[in-house]
Structure 1
Amino acid sequence: MNNTIRRASVFTLLLVFALLVRATWVQFYEGQALADDKDNRRGAIATYAEPLGNIIVAGESITGSARTKGSDLAYKRTYQDGKLYAAVTGYASQSYAPTQLEGIYQDLLDGTDSRLKATLDLVTGDRADPGNVITTIDPDVQQAAYDALGDTKGAAVAIDPATGRILAVVSTPSYDPSSLTDANTAGAAWKKLTKDSDKPLTNRALRQPLPPGSTFKLVVAAAALEDGLYASVDEDTGSPDPYTLPGTSTVLKNENPSAPCENASIRTALRYSCNNVFAKMAVDLGQDKVRAMAEKFGFNDDTQDVPVRAHASVYPSGMDKAQTGLSGLGQFDVTATPLQMAMVSAAMANDGKLVSPHMVSQITDSGGDVLKNYEDGTDSDGSTDTKEIVSSSTAGQLRSAMETVVEQGTGTNAQIDGATVGGKTGTAQNGKNNSKTPYAWFTSYGKTDGKEVAVAVVVEQSDAARSEVSGNGLAAPVAKAMMQAALA
C-alpha cells in the first residue's frame, strides 16, 4: 500500500513539474510568438482600444480615429484625402500589418513606444497617450502632383534640394486606405486591390524601380566631367553618328534623325538627347567609373530610408562593352525610382551636394513635446548625411546644360515664367524589342529668388497614343505643375 501511494505521489509530482515546465516555456519562450499570431486578436483589441495618434501635414491631421459598432475593436483608423496621401501614410488596419509611415511609427501611434510612458504608466502598466508624426510634405505640391498625374499610371517625388525635405510623394493609381481599416470590410477590399492589375498598393514613387532612359544621361555626363574625359559641357565629344555598339553590328540611332548629334558636345547631346554620344561616353569611361558615379548619387543602396525603405535603384556590373554602352542610355539592366532621379536633380541644384532626403521632420508626444527632431541634412538615425557628389564646377555646367534642355531642347513643356528651370527628359524602352508602351520620364529643378525644388516624374502608362509618349509630352507637364506649386 505504501509503495502504491509512493509511486502515485511521485507520478503526480512529475505531472505537476511537467506542467510547470510547459507553462514556463509557453510564457517565456512562446509568448511573443503567440502574441504575434495573426489569429490572436488580443493585440488588435489592445491597439484599437483607444484612438491612434496622427500623421500631420502642414499642421493638419490627415488621419483620425472613429468608434466602431458591434465589434470588440473599439476604434478604427480614418483618413482625410486618403487617396491623395496613401503613398505617404500607408494604412493601419485591424486585419493587416501597417505600411509606410503607419508601419514605421506603429509603436508611437498606438502609444506603446517607451518614450511616451510617464512614471505612473510604468507602475500601472497602462498604455500611454499616443504620439504624432510631423511630415515635411507640402500639401500644395502633393495636390499638384496628384491632379497632374490624373488617370495615368505613374509616380512623382519632389525634394527641397537645400534641406532634403521631401515635399511630395505620389503614386497613381492610388487607393483609399480607409477601405482597409475595418476588419469587417477589409477582406473584400484587400482582395479587390491585390487582384487589380494596376497594383494600386505599390508605392511607385519609392518602391518600383524602372529603366530611367535618357534621364540617366545626367549621371554619365557627371562621370565624364568629374573624370576629365571632357573639360566642359561645350567641348566636342568626337562621337560618330550613328554609333555601332562595340563587338556587335547593332547601330544606335537617335530619335530625331536631323539632330546635330555627330561630335556633339554634352550640352547639345543633352538638348537633343543624343544616344550615340552617351553610349560612346559610357564605353569610353568604362562601367566601373559610371557605376562609381551612380553609387555616389544613391544607386545600389539597399538601405535608403526616408524613413520608409526605398527600393534600391540599380546600376549593374559584369557588363560587356556593348551592354555598358546601353547602360549609358539608362537601358539594359539600369533601373531607378522617381525618388532616385529626384535626388540626381537635387544634387545638381544644390551645387553638387546631396542632402539626405526625408519626409518626417519630428515625432512628438500627445502634448506636442518633441521626442525626436529629424534635422535637415541628417539621416534616419540623426547622423549628418550631406555628401558632395560632384564639384561645384561640374554641377554648374550641368545646370547650364539642363536649362538649355528646357529653354531650347526636349523639355520645353517644363518652362515656368519667372523661374529658372533645368531638366532632362527620358523615354525608356519597355518590353522585348520595345513591344510595350515606353516609360516617359522627366527629372528637373526649378528656382526663384529664395525658393528651389527638385522633381522627378515617371508615367508608365496613359491614354496617349504611342507616338505621343515622351518625357516632354507626358512627364514634363506634371513636373511643371509641381514646381509651380513649390515655388509659388
Structure 2
Amino acid sequence: MTRYIRHTAAFCALLLLALLVNAVRIQIVRAGAYDANPANRRHDLARYGQPRGDILVGGRAVTGSRDSGQRFRHERTYRDGPLYAPVTGFASQVYGTALLENAADGILSGTDPALSPLPLYDDLTRARDPGGHVVTTLDARAQRAAYAGLGGRRGAVAALEPSTGRILALVSSPSYDPGELSGTGPEVARAWARLNGAADRPMLNRAVRQTYPPGSTFKVVTAAAALDSGVVRDVDEPTRSPDPYRLPGSSARLTNEVVGCADASLRYAFQWSCNTVFAGLGVAVGVDAMRTTAAGFGFNDHGLGIPFRVSPSTFDTRVDAAQLALSSIGQYNTRATPLQMAMVAAAVANQGAVRAPHLVERTTTDDGDTVSATGRRTLHQAMNPATAVRLRELMTDVVEKGTGTNAAVPGATVGGKSGTAQHGLHNSGTPYAWFISWAQADDAMEPAVAVAVVVEDAAADRGDISGGGDAAPIARAVMEAVLDH
C-alpha cells in the first residue's frame, strides 16, 4: 500500500511540475505572442476600463473621460476640441491615437512604468496605475488668437518662445472635433469617413505635417548665409544686382514686384523683398554654404519630434545655379512647415541659437507629482550672434517702414518678414501668404515670442494677396496675446 501511495504522490508531483512549467511557458515565454495576438482584447478592455489622464493647457484640462457603460467603458471627451485638435490629436477605441494622445499614451493610459513606485510588482500583478497628466507649453490666449485670426481659412500658425523653444501656439485650419471619433458606435465610422474624405482635409495638421514653399520668408536664411560667409559685409552697400536678373545658364529672367532693386543694398532688398538681389546672393554664397546655413536653422532634419513627429522641411542641395537662385528665394524645391519658419524667426530673436521646440512642459502622476520635465536644449547655432543682430535690424525695418507694417504692436519692438509663395503648374495656384515675426516688449530683456503664419486661401484677388496684408495681422494678434499675458 505504501508503494502505491508513493507512486501516486510522485505522479501528482509530476503533474504539478508540468502545470508550473506550462504556466511559466504561457506567462513568460509566450507572453509576447499572446499580448500581440489581435484576438486578445484584455489590453483594450483594461485601457478603457479606467479614465484616461488629461492634457492640460494653462493649468486647465482640455480633455476628459465619460463613462459610457459599454464594454469599452471610458470614452475620451474634449473641451474646445477643434481649437486644440492639432495638439491633442484623438484617442479612439476604433481608430487608435494620434499626436499627443499617441506620443504620451503610456502616461495618459497609466501603462508607463515611471508612474508606479513598484513597476515590477505591477508587472507581476497586472495592476494598472491611474492615468497621468501631460502639461503642455501652450499659451491659451495665443492659441485662441491664432485660431480666430485664421477664421476657418486653410492655413496654420506656429508660435515659439525663442529663448526656450516652448511652443506657445499650434493651430491648423480648418480643424475638427476629435470627440467625434470617441466610442464604438456607427456614428464614429461615419465621422471618420467624412473627415478623411473632406476636400479641405481638416485632419491634416498643417502646422507640423504640411510643407509649403516659404517664398520670401526664406530670404532670412539667405541673408544669414550671405552675412556669415562674407558675401555681404555691409548691409547698406550696393549688392551689384541687375534688375531683371537672368538665371544662370538660362534665358529666363527674374523680376521684382517693386522698383529700386537694381544694385540695391541688402537693407533695401530685405525691406522691400527684392527677388533679384536674393537670387544673386544665393548663387554667390554657393550651394554648400546655403545647405549648411539652412541645416543650421533646421532644414533637412528628419528626426525632429515635439514629441510627435514633424515633417522635415527641405532645402534641395542637388541643384544647378539657376535652381539654386530660385531655391534662395524660397521657391523651386524649398519647402517648410510653419513650425520650421517659426524656428527661423526665433533663431534671429535668440542671437542665432535654435532651441529644440517642444510641446510638453512636464508629465505628472494622477496626484500631480512630476514624472518627467522637458529642459532647454539647443539644436543648432544657425548663424553668428553678430549676424543675428544685423538680421534683427533688417526685420525691424520691415515692420517699421516696409512690407510688414500690419504686424506692428504698440509698446513692443517687432521684427518681421512677409512672403508670397507661388505654387502649382506654371504658378497657377492661389499664392500662399506668409509672415514670420518676433516681438519684444519695450520693458523686456529679450523677445517673448516668434510666430509663423501661412494662409493658403487668402481672401483677395490674386494680385492683392500678400503676407503683409493677409498673414501679418494674424501674427500681430498672436504676439499681442503673448505680450499681454
Q: Above 0.5 in TM-score?
A: yes
What CA deviation, in whole Å up to 9, does each residue of 1:151-193 have, x standing for no partner? Answer: 2100000001111111000000000010011121321111001
Aligned amino acid, residue 82 of structure 2 = K
- Equivalent residue number for residue 391 of structure 2: 398
- Equivalent residue number for residue 320 of structure 1: 320
* CA distance in structure 2 between the partners assigned to 1:209 and 1:154 by the alignment: 11
Aligned pair in 2 of structure 1 residues 24, 115: CA closer, same or farther (>3 Å)?
closer
> Secondary structure, in 3 states, of the residue corresponding to 1:78?
strand
Q: Which deviates the most, 119-128 or 434-443?
A: 119-128
Task: Note if contact 1:237-1:264 (Cα within 8 Å) is conserved in structure 2.
Answer: yes
Task: Note if contact 2:160-2:450 (Cα within 8 Å) is conserved in structure 1.
Answer: yes
Residues 1:434 and 2:427 aligned together:
yes
What CA deviation, in whole Å up to 9, does each residue of 1:287-342 have, x standing for no partner? Answer: 11111100000000000111111100000021111000000110000000011100
Aligned amino acid, residue 85 of structure 1 = Y
Q: CA deviation at 1:122?
A: 4.6
* CA distance in structure 2 between the partners assigned to 1:96 and 1:203 by the alignment: 17
- Equivalent residue number for residue 272 of structure 2: 272
- Equivalent residue number for residue 230 of structure 2: 228
* CA distance in structure 1 between the partners assigned to 2:29 and 2:188 by the alignment: 32
Aligned pair in 2 of structure 1 residues 365, 440: CA closer, same or farther (>3 Å)?
same
Task: Note if contact 2:432-2:458 (Cα within 8 Å) is conserved in structure 1.
Answer: no
Q: CA deviation at 1:22?
A: 12
* CA distance in structure 1 between the partners assigned to 2:38 and 2:388 by the alignment: 51
Q: Which deviates the most, 22-31 or 187-196?
A: 22-31
Q: CA deviation at 1:465?
A: 2.5
What CA deviation, in whole Å up to 9, does each residue of 1:178-209 have, x standing for no partner? Answer: 00111213211110010011111111101111
* CA distance in structure 1 between the partners assigned to 2:334 and 2:439 by the alignment: 26
Q: How many residues align?
A: 459
Q: CA deviation at 1:408?
A: 1.1
* CA distance in structure 2 between the partners assigned to 1:33 and 1:97 by the alignment: 20
- Equivalent residue number for residue 472 of structure 2: 476
Identity score, percent: 48
Q: CA deviation at 1:467?
A: 2.4
* CA distance in structure 2 between the partners assigned to 1:190 and 1:82 by the alignment: 15
* CA distance in structure 1 between the partners assigned to 2:194 and 2:36 by the alignment: 26
Aligned amino acid, residue 74 of structure 2 = Y
- Equivalent residue number for residue 17 of structure 1: none
Q: CA deviation at 1:390?
A: 1.3
- Equivalent residue number for residue 14 of structure 2: none
Residues 1:465 and 2:461 aligned together:
yes
> Secondary structure, in 3 states, of the residue corresponding to 2:282?
helix
Q: CA deviation at 1:86?
A: 0.4
Q: CA deviation at 1:42?
A: 3.1
Task: Note if contact 2:433-2:458 (Cα within 8 Å) is conserved in structure 1.
Answer: no
> Secondary structure, in 3 states, of the residue corresponding to 1:461?
coil
User: Which residues of 2 match residues 91-170 of structure 1 at below 5 A?
Assistant: 91-119=90-118, 121-170=122-171
> Secondary structure, in 3 states, of the residue corresponding to 1:405?
helix
> Secondary structure, in 3 states, of the residue corresponding to 1:241?
coil
What CA deviation, in whole Å up to 9, does each residue of 1:36-75 have, x standing for no partner? Answer: 4666543321110000011111111111100114x20111
* CA distance in structure 2 between the partners assigned to 1:145 and 1:38 by the alignment: 42
Task: Note if contact 2:236-2:267 (Cα within 8 Å) is conserved in structure 1.
Answer: yes
- Equivalent residue number for residue 215 of structure 1: 217
What CA deviation, in whole Å up to 9, does each residue of 1:341-374 have, x standing for no partner? Answer: 0001101011111211111110111111111111
What CA deviation, in whole Å up to 9, does each residue of 1:185-239 have, x standing for no partner? Answer: 3211110010011111111101111100000011000000000011122221110
* CA distance in structure 1 between the partners assigned to 2:271 and 2:30 by the alignment: 63
Q: Which deviates the most, 475-484 or 180-189?
A: 180-189
- Equivalent residue number for residue 81 of structure 2: 82
Q: CA deviation at 1:474?
A: 1.1
> Secondary structure, in 3 states, of the residue corresponding to 1:366?
coil
Task: Note if contact 1:232-1:397 (Cα within 8 Å) is conserved in structure 2.
Answer: no
Q: When the two structures are superposed, what TM-score results if normalisation uses the length of structure 1?
A: 0.90
> Secondary structure, in 3 states, of the residue corresponding to 1:204?
coil
Task: Note if contact 1:193-1:201 (Cα within 8 Å) is conserved in structure 2.
Answer: yes
- Equivalent residue number for residue 254 of structure 2: 252
> Secondary structure, in 3 states, of the residue corresponding to 2:192?
helix
> Secondary structure, in 3 states, of the residue corresponding to 1:209?
coil
* CA distance in structure 2 between the partners assigned to 1:183 and 1:462 by the alignment: 38
Q: CA deviation at 1:388?
A: 2.3
User: Which residues of 2 match residues 345-424 of structure 1 at below 5 A?
Assistant: 345-375=345-375, 377-378=376-377, 385=378, 387-424=380-417
What CA deviation, in whole Å up to 9, does each residue of 1:397-453 have, x standing for no partner? Answer: 111111111111111111111111111111111101111111111110011022521
Residues 1:64 and 2:64 aligned together:
yes
Aligned pair in 2 of structure 1 residues 209, 52: CA closer, same or farther (>3 Å)?
same
* CA distance in structure 2 between the partners assigned to 1:93 and 1:157 by the alignment: 26
* CA distance in structure 1 between the partners assigned to 2:39 and 2:201 by the alignment: 27
Aligned amino acid, residue 116 of structure 2 = K
Find the partner of 1:191 among 180, 190, 193.
193
Q: Which deviates the most, 273-282 or 118-127?
A: 118-127
What CA deviation, in whole Å up to 9, does each residue of 1:5-45 have, x standing for no partner? Answer: xxxxxxxxxxxxxxxx9999987787646644666543321
Q: When the two structures are superposed, what TM-score results if normalisation uses the length of structure 2?
A: 0.91
Aligned amino acid, residue 478 of structure 1 = I
Aligned amino acid, residue 406 of structure 1 = V
Aligned pair in 2 of structure 1 residues 204, 30: CA closer, same or farther (>3 Å)?
farther
Aligned pair in 2 of structure 1 residues 203, 32: CA closer, same or farther (>3 Å)?
farther
Q: Structure 1: where are the runs of 5+ without partners? A: 1-20, 379-384
Aligned pair in 2 of structure 1 residues 344, 22: CA closer, same or farther (>3 Å)?
same
- Equivalent residue number for residue 4 of structure 1: none
Indicate the RMSD between aligned Cα atoms, in angstroms: 2.0
* CA distance in structure 1 between the partners assigned to 2:347 and 2:413 by the alignment: 16
Aligned pair in 2 of structure 1 residues 122, 40: CA closer, same or farther (>3 Å)?
closer
User: Which residues of 2 match residues 334-345 of structure 1 at below 5 A?
Assistant: 334-345=334-345
What CA deviation, in whole Å up to 9, does each residue of 1:241-281 have, x standing for no partner? Answer: 1100011110101122xx21011111111111100001111
Aligned amino acid, residue 479 of structure 2 = M
Q: Which deviates the most, 232-241 or 164-173?
A: 232-241
Aligned pair in 2 of structure 1 residues 29, 186: CA closer, same or farther (>3 Å)?
farther
- Equivalent residue number for residue 6 of structure 1: none
Aligned amino acid, residue 335 of structure 2 = T
